Amino acid sequence: MNSTRRQAQKEQVAIAALEFVRSDMVLGIGTGSTVNCFIDALAASGKHIEAAVSSSEATTGLLKSHGINVKELNLAGTLDLYIDGADEFDPYRRLIKGGGGALTREKVVTAASRKFVCIVDESKQVGVLGKYPLPVEVIPMARSFVARQLVAMGAQPELREGFETDNGNLILDVHNMDLVDPVGVEKKLNNLPGVVTNGLWAIRPAEVVLMASDEGVREFSE
């Protein structure tokens, strides 16, 4: 898919997501180019939200540039809704996320939210997760140890060069991980000392995926 078509789909799905937003909400907001379209659409819609809880410094900057009030998660309690993109989604709304490196805060805000509406263009749809390299955030001193464990699992970790997360950590992009059992892999990675977060959303998939295509926006939910 060419970049103009993809951009048009991101804008289309961003507008569709506005239907889930109520004016009294404290809304969780993710990170990435699709979410940036959503923030622009929210600002342009004139819809007022009470505040947003942001998943990254980049998102916080964009929200503030639109005059949207940003609230710390610690002061917000449970959120009704979280809106974010993904790098892949499967038929069970399980995801790979973290291409932008914001996976840890994204997973925390997901967990703090009652409903996760994931917004994607059609290039993100897969039958089985794993073509997109799986991001794993590690504390710096554990980088090599974790990489060896990932190799022992049959995968090929690659350090994301010159990148530091908002939490001061590193990202290993993991190629060729067998993700036929994404829940099992997510649990296994969660248990590796030194791993902060992995980019699998399988234990807690998105409740709703909105996918834009040339035929319009399709909703996947239970």
Which residues form the catalytic set? 106
Written as six digits, the tokens of 185 are 């892999």
For residues 68 and 6, give the distance between their C-alpha atoms in angstroms, rounded to a whole number: 26
Footprint of ligand A5P (CB under 6 A) = 30-34, 84-87, 97-103, 106
Shorter beta-carbon distance to ligand A5P: residue 86 or 211? 86
CA distances from residue 110 to 30, 82, 97, 123, 215 in whole angstroms, order as listed? 9, 6, 12, 22, 29
Shorter beta-carbon distance to ligand A5P: residue 93 or 97? 97
Query: Least distance (Å) from ligand A5P to the CB of residue 103?
Result: 5
Q: Are strands 113-121 and 208-213 parallel, antiparallel or unpaired?
A: parallel
Shorter beta-carbon distance to ligand A5P: residue 23 or 52? 52
Query: Least distance (Å) from ligand A5P to the CB of residue 10?
Result: 7
Query: Least distance (Å) from ligand A5P to the CB of residue 87?
Result: 5
All residues at 6 or more sequence positions from 205 whose CB lies less than 8 Å from its CB, including other chains = 92, 93, 94, 95
What are the φ/ψ torsions at residue 107 (nearest 5 degrees)? -70, -35
